[in-house]
Structure formats: structure tokens, C-alpha cells
Chains A and B, each alone.
Chain A
Amino acid sequence: MEVGISFREKIAWVALGGIALAGALYFGNLATHDAPHSYFIGLFVAVMVAQAVITTVATIGVAALAPADARAPRDERDRMIGRLAAGQTYYPLLIGVMLSAVTIHFGNSLFGMLNLLLAVIMLAEALRFVFQIIAYRRGG
């Protein structure tokens, strides 16, 4: 039996798309442009602001299509899925952060380490939304 797509699952898809777009924009530039650090700091801020705006607009659009679903508070299944997804990403995030920090002892620059940390955090966030979507697809 098809359960249907809940509002919270749609938001998870929107958020996943936002993180993926932000990551692609920032790290794509990082990989292909040789520029001073100040350029990338400015780029990072711009990408984060753009991600926030796009995600907000998309969320408002999703809510406008199903206002009754959007107004409904998170129920126990939504909260459970949120907790499970956060728990499942905790150890990958922890390991990623520790490995990123260690790279500085192997010749990585501070700038390089910071970007690794950023990548790990963004990947962990993306993973959290992926786990939420999988849980919703399975029925919770």
C-alpha cells in the first residue's frame, strides 16, 4: 500500500537538494579555481545565503501546495524518524571530523583542513536527510 509523501519528507528532499547544490557550488569552485582564501570565504558566505534563500522559497512553495499538511505539527513518527536519522549520522560525522583534524599532521594546510571539516559537516547533513527520506519511503 502506497503511504504517500508527507510534508516532512518533501522538506527533507528540499533540504537535501539545497545542501547538494551548495556543496557542488562551493567545492566545485574550490577544486577548479586558484584564488586567495578571502575569495573562498566570500564564496562560502554567498553560497550559504543562497542555499538558505532557495531552501526557504522551496519550503514555502511546498507548504503552499499542501497547506493543511504544512500546518500539522510533527507527530511521533516524524520525531522518531528525525531522532533515528540524527543518530545514524553521529558516528560518520565524528569520524570524519577526527580524520579531517588529523590531516594537518600530515602536511595539510589549515585552509585545507577547514575545508575538509566543512565537507564532512555538509556530507553528514546530507546523510541525515537521506536517512530521513529512506525512513519515510519505508513507511517509518
Chain B
Amino acid sequence: MPSTRITNQIRLLRFMAGEMTQAELGERIGMTRQTVAAIEAGKYSPTLEAAFRIAQVFGKPLDEVFQWQG
């Protein structure tokens, strides 16, 4: 699957959240480490529910976590 038009700040937000690892984030949102890595790399677009869960982990609005480049 080619890279999506949705970018994200997850890597930065993880660093700012006490250097949270991909595995730790994955555990909190019910995803594998590899899926979190794929999301960060723009290779996989999460479902809306998953995107909201990620934003909730960081305490940020959805559009501060994900941006549409269309």
C-alpha cells in the first residue's frame, strides 16, 4: 500500500510523553507495535476509532495528531 495523504505527529508526541515506546502506545490503544510503526510511517491509516484512541492517549485534539495533506 503506498504512503497515505495523512501525516501524523505520533513520533513527536510519543517523545514528548516521556519517550513512550511504540509498544507502550500499542498496548494502550490495542494495537501491535508493528501497526503503530506502520501508522507513524504513513503506511497504514488507522480507523477513525483508533485515531481517536491515539489522540486520547496524548490528550490532544484529533487534528493535532493527524493531518490531511489532500
B40 adjacent to A140 (CB under 8 Å): no
A77 adjacent to B37 (CB under 8 Å): no
B17 close to A (CB within 8 Å): no
Task: Write out the residue numbers on chain B whose beta carbons fall within 8 Å of the beta carbon of A76.
Answer: 31, 35, 46-47, 50
Give the number of A-B contacts (CB < 8 Å): 55
B38 close to A (CB within 8 Å): yes
A75 adjacent to B35 (CB under 8 Å): yes
Task: Write out the residue numbers on chain A whose beta carbons fall within 8 Å of the beta carbon of B41.
Answer: 1, 3, 139
The contact string, 1 if C-beta is below 8 Å from chain A, for chain B 16-35, is: 00000001001000111111
Which residues of B33-70 are within 8 A (CB) of A? 33-35, 37-38, 40-41, 43-44, 46-47, 50
Pick the contact of A139: B26, B33, B38, B46 (CB < 8 A).
Answer: B38
Across the two chains, which residue of chain B brings its CB closest to A72? B32
A77 adjacent to B44 (CB under 8 Å): yes
Task: Write out the residue numbers on chain B whose beta carbons fall within 8 Å of the beta carbon of A6.
Answer: 32, 34-35
B38 adjacent to A3 (CB under 8 Å): yes
Besides A4-B37, A77-B31, 16 more A-B contacts (Cβ < 8 Å) are: A1-B37, A3-B41, A6-B32, A6-B34, A68-B23, A75-B32, A75-B35, A76-B31, A76-B35, A76-B50, A77-B35, A77-B38, A77-B44, A78-B32, A140-B35, A140-B43
24 A-B contact pairs sorted by A residue (CB < 8 Å): A1-B37, A3-B34, A3-B41, A3-B43, A4-B33, A4-B34, A5-B34, A7-B32, A9-B34, A68-B23, A72-B26, A72-B32, A73-B30, A75-B30, A76-B31, A76-B35, A76-B47, A76-B50, A77-B35, A136-B34, A138-B1, A139-B1, A139-B41, A140-B44
